[in-house]
Amino acid sequence: MSTSTSTTTDGATSAPVTFGGRLRLIGPGIVLALASVGASDMITTMNSGAEYGLALIWVFTVGIVLKFVLSEAVSRLQMSGDRSLLSHLTGFGGRTFPVLFLIAELLVGLFFGAGVVAVTTNILQAIFPVLPFWPTAVVVLLSASVLVGIGRYGLVEKAMMGFGIIMFFGIIALAISVFQGDGAQQVAAETVVPTFPNTSIITVMSLIGGVGGATGILAYSFWIREKSWRSPDWKTVVRLDLVISYGLVFVFAVAMSAVGAFILYGQGFTIADNDSLFAIADSLVSRIGDVGRMVFLISFLAVVYTSVLGGFSGIAYVTADCLRVLRRYPHQDEARFDMSAKSVEFRGALVYLSVATLVIMGLGKPVTLVLVYAAISAFILPVLALALLVILNRGSVPTGLRNTWWSNTLLTVCLALFGFLAILQVKESVMGFIG
């Protein structure tokens, strides 16, 4: 039996029916995985390992499962009708969701590029010390903008899969290497049993929310549309794609926790920022040699640069669709207004990202705007969970794509957890204003 897709009489592609055929088509999930983890996730997972060894792997696992649930629900909403994500959400609140998500994405875009481009440049300088900062940063920024804007999704997927291979093999090799060091096996044996942090439940909930990004979950619906996975018969392919995606995120979290545990456990060392990660790279020289340091830096580079590519792609798609829907509402679903990476909205979003990156890198991050950005963007996931709970229980959704009891249960957990974390973030932002 052929495992390739077939084309129907109306030009649409139908999903493969064999596992091999489905496996050959995976891609958006890889992009989601790589876009969702970055330098902050390296810091979070390595700090967890440094403080608790392997005992908090269960916490990351819970967070990964919940984000899988959100992504899977987003994909079902996408496949319930050939409309973009924001077009679907207009069925629950009209222009409300496009406005909310546009504000959030504009704020995310204002700061996202400056952070990841600067870190990428710093890693390149650590590998090649002769590189000057600003010219290198401009090259990094232009490479991401060109790949996303000219190559669009297909080229972005191929580039990210190439970097992903480097990243995951590098991280796994690093974790295995440090496991051979003195005391590593003892640390693993002492801390492998799951435990609850002795600080507070807030610590646990923050760790659960820490690995994987909100914009990537929103953008996943656009990436599967680019692959023409637009009808209910693609549900099995999408689920396989997402299982592999979050499986890779799990491998990343476990490997980085292990590196943190085997190098730093019991030393009272906290990784406070990206500079600390460079210090970790230098400390690896005494443990596993210059090769170990280079493997860490190259893996670090792959982690951050793929988050640049995936982030630019995701933010551009979500921002562009918000603008498209708001400009064309209520006629946004007419064929002539279909969401496209060739649209003026998409190209405008990329220009905005590029200009914002250079401006914020030049000025530094204004504290007030950072606090506003953190507070507003924190509400993306709980608002999305609420919308998915309402829309995917409607009779207008095809039966096979509606929420089941377990979907409703887990989406409710997502709403409660991420809503609580959003409230904590608002409290932190308010205290930042006052302080």
Tens digit of each residue's pLDDT (9 = 90 or more) over 216-226: 999 999 999 99
State pTM to two decimals: 0.91
By CB neighbour count within 10 A (0-12 exposed, 13-18 middle, 19+ buried), where does 331 fall? exposed
The pLDDT of residue 152 is 81
- Report residue 426's pLDDT band, with 50, 70 and 90 as the boundaries: confident
The model's pLDDT over 22-37, given as tens digits with 9 standing for 90+, comes to 999 999 999 999 998 8
Helix (H) or strand (E) holding 197: none
Write out pLDDT tens, residues 121-171: 999 999 999 999 999 999 999 999 999 998 789 999 999 999 999 998 999
pLDDT of 433:
72
> Are the C-beta atoms of 372 and 429 separated by less than 8 Å?
yes
Residue-range domains of the chain with CATH: 24-434 (1.20.1740)
Q: What is the mean pLDDT of the chain?
A: 88
Percentage of the residues of the chain whose pLDDT score is greater than 90:
56
Checking if the pLDDT of 263 tops 90, the result is no
Which residue, among 190, 177, 334, 344, has the nearest Cα to 263 in the 3D structure? 177
Using an 8 Å Cβ cutoff, are 211 and 249 in contact? yes
Q: Give which of 310, 200, 236, 226 is closest to 23, Cα–Cα.
A: 236
pLDDT at 3: 44
Per-residue pLDDT of 52-98, as tens digits, reads: 899 989 988 998 999 999 999 999 999 998 899 999 999 888 899 99
Instruction: Find the farthest-apart pair of alpha carbons in the chain and give their distance in angstroms, rounded.
Output: 66
The residue ranking higher by pLDDT, 291 or 10, is 291
> What is the structure's pLDDT at 10?
44
Predicted confidence band of residue 206 (pLDDT cuts 50, 70, 90):
low
